[in-house]
Amino acid sequence: MKKQSKSINLVCFGFGLTAQYFVRELLKNKYKINLITTSRSKILNKKFQNINYKNFHFEDYRFDKKIIKYILSATHILISIPPRDRRDFVIESFYNEIISNKKIKWLAYLSSTSVYGNHNGKWVNENSRLLSINNTGINRIVAENEWLKLYKHQLVPTRLFRLSGIYSPERNIFLRLANGQIRFVKKNNHFFSRIHVADIAQILFQSLTYSKPGEIYNVADNKPSSYEETVLYACKLMGVKIPQSILFNDLKEGEMKDFYNDSKKVNNKKIKTGLKVKLYFPTYKEGLKNILKNIFDR
């Protein structure tokens, strides 16, 4: 398969940790990037990893209209802004510009494995039924369908990436333990999957070469497990006491309860076979060990 040019015009709708790690991965692989981002900030000229880039204000339907010409010339687009109230603000604000731009080679929409809902601890793959009954998952399902329509009806080269629970050196269980922020719930047959942010970045990078438009990819490591298992392992590595557990029935309605209502193991075979990915951190154990080592090495 022909490799992409190493000079790209990249528009990132949202420039959080995942997008930043993706840009780092591109730089590591000697890509020259003309970078455009959006955020709630109104600061136009910014710098990241020695790249001078332009950032445009975008919040709900309000945006700086100067971004339009950059969307029309983008070769690559990354969307990490979550939908809300059954709407995707990127599509609703920039639909005409995206379908008009015939230079786009790769458009990646970052979704979530929350779309699968509860599968009672069984394995799910990209073809599994989407059973989510909570707002987060339903919003994602609606947005996924809208992005896939762009491929089916307008031939926009869309790819969907369903991300598992993200952890990173910047946001991880050690920091929550140290700050007393762990809410430790014991629940039988509760499984979820996770992924280190550096592995998301390399999966996105590999997809530049190996992915196909219209495809969906699960982004998860090799070892789904319970939250209890990861908490116990992190406490052991830190040498701290296990926090006191709380009962599932005592949780208030909301994202925390939604998280524990859903139990599934996310199959990641497609990223390994289709995108030729070899995970930097195959399980949470390698990822947490690496994060803790770097904390002490600073």
Digitized pLDDT (tens) for each residue of the chain, 298 residues in all: 445 559 999 999 999 999 999 999 999 999 999 999 999 999 999 999 999 999 999 999 899 999 999 999 999 999 999 999 999 999 999 999 999 999 999 999 999 999 999 999 999 999 999 999 999 999 999 999 999 999 999 999 999 999 999 999 999 999 999 888 887 788 888 999 999 999 999 999 999 999 999 999 999 999 999 999 999 999 999 999 999 888 887 777 776 788 889 999 999 999 999 999 999 999 999 999 999 988 756 5
Q: What is residue 186's predicted lDDT score, i.e. its pLDDT?
A: 81
Backbone angles phi, psi at 73, to 5 degrees: -110, 5
Separation between Cα atoms, residue 204 and residue 144, nearest integer Å: 17
Show the tokens assigned to 73.
């010339």
SS3 186: strand
Show the tokens assigned to 113.
């494995």
Q: What is residue 185's predicted lDDT score, i.e. its pLDDT?
A: 85
CB 262 within 8 A of CB 192: yes
Q: Residue 69 CB: number of other CB atoms within 10 A? A: 10
CB 63 within 8 A of CB 14: no
Report the relative pairing of strands 106-112 and 245-247 from DSSP bridges: unpaired
Which letter does DSSP use for residue 213 in this model? T
CA angle 39, 36, 23 (to 5 degrees): 95
Reference 74, options 46, 36, 120, 43; nearest CA is: 36
- Helix axis angle for 17-28 and 197-210, nearest 10°, is 60
Separation between Cα atoms, residue 228 and residue 235, nearest integer Å: 11
CB 267 within 8 A of CB 193: no
Residue 57 CA to its chain's centroid (Å): 21
Q: What is residue 208's predicted lDDT score, i.e. its pLDDT?
A: 98
Reference 71, options 48, 92, 96, 51; nearest CA is: 96
Separation between Cα atoms, residue 33 and residue 89, nearest integer Å: 25
**Residues facing 51 on adjacent strands:** 48
Q: What is residue 255's predicted lDDT score, i.e. its pLDDT?
A: 67
18-51 burial by CB neighbour count: b if 16+ within 10 A, else e? bbbbbbebbeeeebebbbbbbbeeeeeeeebeee
Q: What is residue 191's predicted lDDT score, i.e. its pLDDT?
A: 96
Report the relative pairing of strands 184-186 and 245-247 from DSSP bridges: parallel
Identity of the amino acid at 237:
L
Q: What is residue 5's predicted lDDT score, i.e. its pLDDT?
A: 57
For the entire predicted model, the pTM comes to 0.95
**Residues facing 110 on adjacent strands:** 161
Q: Where do the domains of the chain lie, and which CATH numbers do they carry?
A: 7-167+195-225+267-281 (3.40.50.720)
Reference 115, options 145, 139, 96, 137; nearest CA is: 137
